[in-house]
Chains A and B, each alone.
Chain A
């Protein structure tokens, strides 16, 4: 288990994760990041506006970027047209 920090990036703004969380593998990190992105998209949908320009950057304890997911890649939006 290692500590990973999930930072929320919106263009040039970044909201840093102050404490991080313990996860057992990079596969778990990728799963958690996807879940986070979708949770934020869902909450924003309820509010009426989704900002797909966001992303989640995950750093390890040394500060190295180990994973990133852009919100556009976190959901598929189907149009009926």
Chain B
């Protein structure tokens, strides 16, 4: 694995930014979280964080770049079961498991924090607001997975790709990686296909249709959503499953 170890406090911004969507963290909470991010590694695209069958030792936080969870079926076909974006926590309690049931690979060059077993827990145990924020993060990941099931189960290719683009835009906007409705989409058509149970040529044709019908365009390697309201309507996208509303802390602590 190509990596260089460094420590950057500023790198934690995407992670903190994501948690701030749900809860007001105190500056002490933020310092405690930043403090556990000590081992940050630059990984090149195509680096596995962990493979199916491996015993997990670390919790990872993706600070920059994209990654994917995937599995491979016996005929060789790959299924991508999640796109991981800056700010994503993978996975808080994973070390409870004896072995990984899927693999995680970087899709772009990435910056990943490696937290040894227990380090994040030690913060959560002392800080209930942090603990709630981390739970929220895990619950949202599950909500995204359910939305992906709906993509595959009940949306056609046009709706599913539209929905995925709206979701990626919404998630990236929360961590500051969008410029209005423009964002860098580093995914190949193969990766989009593997995420939605489609084939790359079908994705190619559907993206062409999305462009021709005025929903999206490509500008200097950035995907631009030209009419986000219409795309959301066409895709049946409702962002509420991303739970980006502040949690009622008084209700939590009662």
In the assembled complex, the CB of A53 is this many whole angstroms from the nearest CB of chain B, namely: 15
Residues of chain A contacted by B101 (CB below 8 angstroms): none
Q: Which of B2-10, B118-126, B131-139, B194-202 contacts A (4 or more CB under 8 A)?
A: B194-202
A-contact 0/1 string along B138-182, CB 8 Å cutoff: 000000000000000000110000000000000000000000000
Q: For B198, what are the chain A residues with a Cβ–Cβ distance below 8 Å?
A: 39
Binary CB contact string for chain B from 183 to 196 against chain A (1 if under 8 A, 0 otherwise): 00000111000000
Q: What 0/1 pattern do residues 17 to 35 of A give for CB contact below 8 A with B? A: 1110100000000000001
> Which of B156, B157, B190, B201 is close to A8, meaning CB atoms less than 8 Å apart?
B201
Instruction: Give chain A residues whose Cβ lies under 8 Å from the Cβ of B204.
Output: 8, 15, 17-18
Contact call B199/A35, Cβ cutoff below 8 A = yes
Decide yes or no whether B205 CB sits under 8 A from chain A. Answer: yes
Contact partner of A6 among B156, B157, B188, B200, CB < 8 A?
Answer: B200
Interface range on chain B (Cβ under 8 Å from partner)? 10 to 19
- A6 touching B201 by the CB < 8 A rule? yes
A40 touches B202 (CB 8 A): yes
* CB within 8 Å for A43 and B157 given contacts A6-B201, A8-B201, A36-B202: yes
In the complex, are the beta carbons of A43 and B201 less than 8 A apart?
Answer: no
Q: What chain A residues lie within 8 Å of B200 (beta carbons)?
A: 6, 17, 21, 36
Whether the pair A19, B202 counts as a contact (CB closer than 8 A) is: no
Main secondary structure of the interface of B (DSSP, over half): helix
Q: In the complex, are the beta carbons of B188 and A40 less than 8 A apart?
A: no
Q: Are B190 and A21 in contact (CB under 8 A)?
A: yes
Question: CB-nearest residue of chain B relative to A28?
Answer: B76
The answer to whether B208 and A43 have CB atoms under 8 Å apart is no
Residues of A within 8 A of B189 (CB): 17-19
* A17→B201 CA distance, assembly (Å): 7
Most chain B CB within a 10 A radius of its CB, from A6, A19, A39, A47: A39
**Contacts known (A19-B189, A21-B190, A46-B156); A8 close to B205, Cβ less than 8 A:** yes
What's the minimum C-beta distance from A18 to chain B, rounded to whole angstroms? 8
Tell me which residues across on chain B come within 8 A of A43, comparing CB atoms: 156-157, 202
A17 to B156, CA, bound (A): 21
Q: Complex: how many Å from CA A59 to CA B57?
A: 44
Tell me, in angstroms, the Cα distance from A72 to B21 when the chains sit together. Answer: 52
> Which chain B residues border A6 with CB–CB below 8 Å?
200-201
Q: How far is the CA of A35 from the CA of B197 in the complex (A)?
A: 12
Give chain A residues whose Cβ lies under 8 Å from the Cβ of B199.
35-36, 39-40
Chain B residue at minimum C-beta to C-beta distance from A17: B204
**B residues within 8 A CB of A36?**
199-202
A47 to B209 Cα, complex, angstroms: 14
User: In the bound complex, what is the Cα–Cα distance between A15 and B208 (angstroms)?
Assistant: 9
A20-74 CB contacts (< 8 Å) to partner B: 21, 35-36, 39-40, 43, 46-47, 56
Interface residues of B (CB under 8 A from A): 156-157, 188-190, 198-202, 204-205, 208
Closest 9 CB pairs of A and B: A39-B199, A36-B201, A36-B199, A6-B201, A8-B201, A21-B190, A39-B202, A19-B188, A40-B202
